[in-house]
Each structure stands twice: as C-alpha cells, then as structure tokens.
Amino acid sequence: MGYRRRKAEETFFKVLMIGSTLIIAGSLLLIMGTIVVKGFPALNLAMITQTPKGGYYLGKEGGILNAIVGSLELAGGATLLALLLSLPIVLYINVYARRKSRLAVFTRFSLDVLWGIPSIVYGAFGFILMMMIGLRTSLLAGIITVALLELPIMARAMDEVVRLVPSSLRDASASLGATRLETAFHVVVRQCLPGIITAVLIAFGRGIGDAASVLLTAGYSDRIPGALTQPAATLPLAIFFQLGTPYPEVQARAYASAAILTFLILAISLLSRWFSRKFQKNTIK
C-alpha cells in the first residue's frame, strides 16, 4: 500500500475519532445548556425549600422539595439495598466459586439479561410484588423496585473490577492463613474500593434518574414522605408531570427540576470521585 493511501487512511480515522468524541462532549453541553437556559427563569430558592402549595401545578407558588427529598431517600435506600445484595454476589462468584463454575457463569449471564430489561418492566414487576404482599404505593415499594433495577448494574460493574484482582494477591493473603472471607473483605474489597464506589455511584445515578419504575410503586405525593409506608414523590416524575401541563411557567419549572436533578447527580459524582481517590492510595497497581 502506498504511503499516500496509508496517510489518507490515518487522517480519515483520526477525523472520525475526534468527531465522535466531540459529539459526545457536545451532547452533554447541549443538554446542560437546554436545562439551564429553559429552567433558569423558574429556578429560585422556593423551588428547593418548599413543597407544592395549592395550585402549584397551575403556576402558583411552592417548590419541589417533596420530590428532592423523595428522590434522595428512594435512591439512597435502593442503592443501600442493592449494595447489600451485590457485594455478596460479586464476592461469591469471584472469591468462592471456581473460575469456570456454572453457577458463576449463569449468574453473570442473568445479570447481563437483567441489565437490559426496561425499567417499566421492573415497575410492573414491583407492582405485582406489592399486590402480593399487600403493600400500597409507598417509599418502601419504590425502594425495593429501584433496588432490583440497580442490582444488575451495580453487581456487574463491581464484578468487572473484582475480576481483575490478581490471583497472586489472594494467594498472598491465603498463605498467611487467612480464610476466604478474610481475604474477601480485607484484601479484595480494599483493593477494589475505588471501583466499588464507582459501581455504587453508577447505580445510584441510574436509580435516581428513573421514572418508569417508580410510577406504579412509589406513587407521588405533595408531602415529604415521613415513613416507609407513605407514597413518595420523585424528581423524574416531577419533571414528567410539570412538563405535561399546558402552562409555560410550569413547564419552565420542569426544566428547573431537571437542572436540580442534574446538579444532584453531578455533586454526588464529584463527591464519590473524591472518595475513590482517597482510597486509591493503597491500591496495588
């Protein structure tokens, strides 16, 4: 192949790569820009300090504190529940089960399939579950459903980092007379802590941003949920309901709500990055 042709090939793919990178960075900026520009006029202190007053959805005063608190409680609870289930799964398939164990292979396959199931299906499944155990639309029902939604994402993201722990590191712990459990908690978890934090964050972001799974399970309420058995408002649904009204000022509030949600996720993302850097210093490269 001639030099000229190889050079053209190089240029073509370089342009393609840079172009794709710019598109992704540009999309983020565009989305952020739209939310800020459209939502900024409606963004005020009342939005984040008050619950909806009468006639809020017609453009009268109030805020979406109910949805902010609801979302944080719901996604926080769901993430905690998902973590309590993910960590044992991941440690089992990586530290206890043999590398090619059928159970481990089947578990990974299940998680991959579950990852792909649309959230509305989780919502419907959660709804059926609620009916079976006699639970009404409530914070608890929402937490359980969103935890199921987050579980495969969290477990699989953790699995990818835990798998990379070299067997020689586990052998080093074992040869000091450690049991598998001690190796799992004191060595494997520590080594993977930055990755585990990232996995938790990804799952939290997915959970707090999902509307379909909470629609039927957590319900919606203008009050801040005071108990697990009360219905809870969430930001994605707040956006959905406000965007669906015919009033421009309420629609602007939807964008303002989206901005609040985005900033929440951004803040948590930065916080977890800081945490994971803090724990990275001990990681063996």
Partner 1 sequence: MNPQTHISIRNLSVSYGRQKVLKDVSLDIPDRKVTAIIGPSGCGKTTLLKTMNRLLDGQDGVTIEGEVLVDGENIYDPKIEVTRVRKKMGLLSQKPQVLPMSIFDNIAYGPRIHGVRDKTRLMAIAQRQLQASGLWEEVKDRLHEPASRLSVGQQQRLCLARGLAVEPEIILGDEPTSALDPQSSRIVEQRLVELKAEYTVIVVTHILRQARRIADYIAFLYLGELVEHGPAADVFAAPKDPRMKAYLTGEIS
Interatomic CA distance for residues 189 and 284, integer angstroms: 12
Smaller CB separation from partner 1, 106 or 247: 106
- Cα distances from 14 to residues 21, 75, 230, in angstroms, run 11, 41, 55
**Token pair of 54 as six digits:** 């009468």
Shortest spacing between CB 169 and partner 1, in angstroms: 5
Under the binding rule (CB under 8 A), the answer on residue 116 touching partner 1 is no
The footprint of partner 1 on this chain (CB under 8 A) covers a number of residues equal to 25
Identity at 126, one-letter amino acid code: G
Q: Which of 99, 136, 163, 278 binds partner 1 (CB under 8 A)?
A: 99
Q: Closest approach of Cβ 160 to partner 1, in Å?
A: 18
Q: Which of 148, 17, 183, 7 is nearest to 77 (CA)?
A: 148
* Alpha-carbon 230 to chain mean position: 23
Instruction: Assess 103 for contact with partner 1 (CB under 8 A).
Output: no
**Shortest Cβ distance from residue 29 to partner 1 (Å)?**
37
| The pair of three-digit structure tokens given for residue 266, joined into one six-digit string | 């951004």
Residue 39's contacts (CB-CB under 8 Å, 6 or more residues apart) are 252, 253, 254, 255, 256, 257, 258, 259
SS (H, E, C) 205-259: HHHHCCCHHHHCCCCCCCCCCCCCCCCCCCHHHHHHHHHCCCCHHHHHHHHHHHH
User: C-alpha angle with apex 88: 85 to 92, nearest 5 degrees?
Assistant: 140
| Contact pattern for partner 1 over residues 156 through 195, marking x by CB under 8 A | ----------x-xx-xxxxxxxxx--x---xx--xx----
Is residue 139 exposed (0-12), middle (13-18) or buried (19+ Cβ within 10 Å)?
Answer: buried
Least separation in angstroms between CB 103 and partner 1:
14
196, two tokens: 């585990």
Tokens (6 digits) for 253:
């509030």
* Nearer of residues 110 and 280 to partner 1, judged by Cβ: 280
117 vs 176, which CB is nearer to partner 1?
A: 176
| Minimum CB distance to partner 1, residue 161 (Å) | 13
285 binds partner 1 (CB under 8 A): yes
The two tokens of residue 12 are 């073509």
User: Shortest gap between Cβ of 274 and partner 1 (angstroms)?
Assistant: 18
Q: How far is the CB of 228 from partner 1 (least distance, A)?
A: 37
Name which of 61 and 171 has its Cβ closer to partner 1: 171
Between 170 and 253, whose beta carbon lies closer to partner 1? 170
When binding is defined by CB under 8 A, the residue of 3, 5, 19, 100 that contacts partner 1 is 100
Summarize as ranges the residues that interact with partner 1 (CB under 8 A): 98-100, 166, 168-169, 171-179, 182, 186-187, 190-191, 281-285
